[in-house]
Chains A and B, each alone.
Chain A
Amino acid sequence: MLSNLSPRNLLGKIKALPARLRSIHWFDTLLALLRRPLVLTLIGIFILLVLSAGSYGIWLTQQPPKQPIQFNHSLHLSFGVQCLYCHPGAWKARSAGLPTETKCWGCHQQIPIKDANQQKLADAVYKDEPIKWVPVFILPDFVYFNHRPHIAAGVNCETCHGELSREITAQPRKGINMGWCLHCHRTRAAGDEALLTRLQDCGTCHR
């Protein structure tokens, strides 16, 4: 065996490698392999695994993030609380904002604590710690949205944020992309040249 490894032999083997490779009929070997049912089954299982992992991943992306307190929008709306009461920034400024704890506590300090969520709120207020909300309605990078002109133009909160009176926790919305924004910008501003120019200008939303 060792004599096989002698330099002359090795050199000969290396020199013979290209010819040996070329002599293998790769395509035929592959086809022969594919005809084996076991190989086919393995490939099939592999594709299924990738697809299922992928669709699990996609399903994961569509889940709303977990909030520190499962705030029930529909319940509060059913009591007649207006959007602008908790999110006043929408009326006059660019960002609607999240309510401060004092806003929640204004009512909840008079409401007897009946469930875990209310208890969490009370704990946060007494410890003077902020509640770490995870924002659900996030626009992509480079988009600068200004609430004020939209509210002033009479656009309802539900138009973009969905019917929160029918959802318990706020859900991420599907299909909020630039085309969707532009569609509204174009149709609502039709007829007013100046407004149309402004609403379709790149600089208005992307700075």
Chain B
Amino acid sequence: MNKPGWIGQIEVGNPFNEASLYKWGMVIDQDLCTGCQACVTACAMENNTSFVGEADAGYGRTMHWLHIERFWDGVYPNVKLTSYQPLLCQHCERAPCEPVCPVFASVHSLSQKTNLQVYNRCVGTRYCANNCPYQVREFNWRDYAPPEPLPNMFHPDVTVRRRGVMEKCTFCLQRLLQAEDKASAEGRVLADGEVITACAQACPTGAIVFGRLDDPESQVSHLRTDGRAAVLLEELGTLPSITYLKGGSSYGRNR
């Protein structure tokens, strides 16, 4: 099978079923990200995410499925923030969170090629979050039910989680399934850009690009071969589906 150019990695055969259609992936251009948090809020609004309040937030228990990483670099006046980096579940092909779940709640979807979180199976061992090298999994430590009438804005297609379950980015699985359903109803294949995640849709600079990695003509496939492309924590061999384009220079731009 052919894989569009992985950036210098461990060559492995795809252990999963080839017959399934789409493989979803994402490219995030850190040169374009302005850190505006539109993706963070869009994800929260799309996925019925709860807010935890000041105390729990300070304790590191926020429910941000997607957060923006940045670090201070240097000493005044030659100080800056490193390029803003939206960090979300990387949907690794060899996800460290999958083999450790005792109840198979964290599994790899064979039909979407993403990493699933099955809430009804989760018993809350939190082993998966422990194992995730990107620390992007969030646990519902409490019931965070918002007061009426806020629950009116909850989507009917996304589960509202109770305490005791893990949650994380699902690549907007509800949107993927809906779009695939629509396409199969119309008897066609999904076009590139027809379905995008909430974060990609909201991003004002278009730094987040979402699409099919199995389609060599899609925008994500093209961007992955950019000279600035890199994968997070490559040496761990998790084979993430998200590629980052380094910010701050013009080196390797295809244009």
In the complex, is A directly touching B at CB under 8 Å? yes
Interface membership of A203, Cβ < 8 A? yes
Q: What 0/1 pattern do residues 167 to 198 of A give for CB contact below 8 A with B?
A: 00000000000000000000000000110011
Interface residues contributed by chain A, number (CB under 8 Å) = 20
What's the Cα separation between A148 and B183 when bound, in Å? 12
What's the Cα separation between A202 and B111 when bound, in Å? 9
- Could you say which residues of chain B place their CB within 8 Å of the CB of A204? 111, 177
Contact of B107 among A142, A148, A202, A207 (CB under 8 A): A202
Contact of B173 among A94, A146, A200, A203 (CB under 8 A): A203
Interface membership of A152, Cβ < 8 A? yes
Known: A152-B185, A206-B118, A207-B177. A201 touches B159 (CB 8 A): no
What's the Cα separation between A69 and B121 when bound, in Å? 38
Residues of A contacting B: mostly: helix
Residues of B contacting A: mostly: loop
Shortest Cβ gap from A95 to chain B (Å): 8
Interface membership of A144, Cβ < 8 A? yes
Whether B158 and A207, one on each chain, are in contact in the complex, defined by CB atoms closer than 8 angstroms, is yes
Interface residues of B (CB under 8 A from A): 17, 19-21, 107, 109-112, 114, 116, 118-120, 157-159, 170, 173-174, 177, 181, 184-185
7 interchain pairs (CB within 8 A)? A142-B119, A149-B184, A193-B19, A197-B19, A203-B170, A207-B158, A207-B174
Would you list the 7 A-B pairs with minimal beta carbon distance, nearest first?
Answer: A193-B19, A142-B120, A198-B111, A201-B111, A203-B109, A203-B116, A197-B20
Interface residues of A (CB under 8 A from B): 92, 94, 141-142, 144, 146, 148-149, 152, 193-194, 197-198, 200-204, 206-207
